[in-house]
Amino acid sequence: MERTFISYWDTPIVRANNRTVSFILLVSILLSFLCVFFFLGRPVDITCLLRQVSFGIFFIIVISSILAKTITVYTAFKATKPGSSWKKWVSLKASSYVVLVCSSIQVFICVIWLLVSPPYVEYNHHTYPGKIIIQCNEGSDICFYSMLGYMGLLAAVSFVLAFMVRTLPDSFNEAKYITFSMLLVCSVWIAMIPAYLSTRGKYMVAVEIFAILTSCAGVVGCIFFPKLHILILKPELNSRNIILEKS
């Protein structure tokens, strides 16, 4: 998918939807998918340290990029009004700052987590009598749920903002696709929390893997597949004149 977007880098539909942030979003989704491999196999010290932290950082970049794209849609149409003060916010730097600031907060949470009470390998003798379960103890529960809570907060903000601007002209507007993707992400993780707390051992890991894969696949499907449909199957719609006529 990254190769496809690079191939169509200078086409109107890619440029109209903040192509740099879109590429950051694609790369971070790919890295979030790859984080699943840290959850597989026998737990060791390095995988216990990296699996939650790596997913938390990469997936917050996903959500931050989506929030930046939504803010760009909002400010772009506010800036079209004569004498609007929103024009200074319509720039690549503004989107990059949103991604950087929102991601930095999650990085700070994860660094504090690793310094104060990092995850470690635990030998569980209690869940199943007569069996020893090798699992990862997350260390600080406060830091773990702070990481998840911040992700949920940012996803909720993205959903609300995208829902507010979903009715803007379709040619430039990704907000309705973002609305569906954030609704899916929020639904998956809200359903995941009670399932995660009520399971133990490998089933707990399976629940989180399912949540990661489903939320990442939902973002790809809702945001990028409509654009790929035009880029590959309907290239005649990928022109500046048609986009301007629709908007």
Q: Which of the two residues, 243 and 117, has the higher pLDDT score?
A: 117
Q: Cβ(84)–Cβ(37) under 8 Å? A: no
Strand ranges for 16-83 from DSSP E: none
pLDDT tier for residue 150 given thresholds of 50, 70 and 90: very high
Q: Which CATH class is domain 2-240?
A: mainly alpha
Which range of 75-79, 90-94, 154-158, 172-176 scores highest in mean pLDDT? It is 154-158
Give the count of beta carbons closer than 10 Å to the beta carbon of residue 197: 10
DSSP SS3 for 206: helix
- Span of 45-54, 168-177, 197-206, 212-221 with lowest mean pLDDT: 168-177
Q: What is the DSSP letter of 88?
A: G
Mention every residue, 6+ apart, whose C-beta is less than 8 A from residue 244.
171
From CA 180, how far away is CA 229, in angstroms rounded?
A: 17
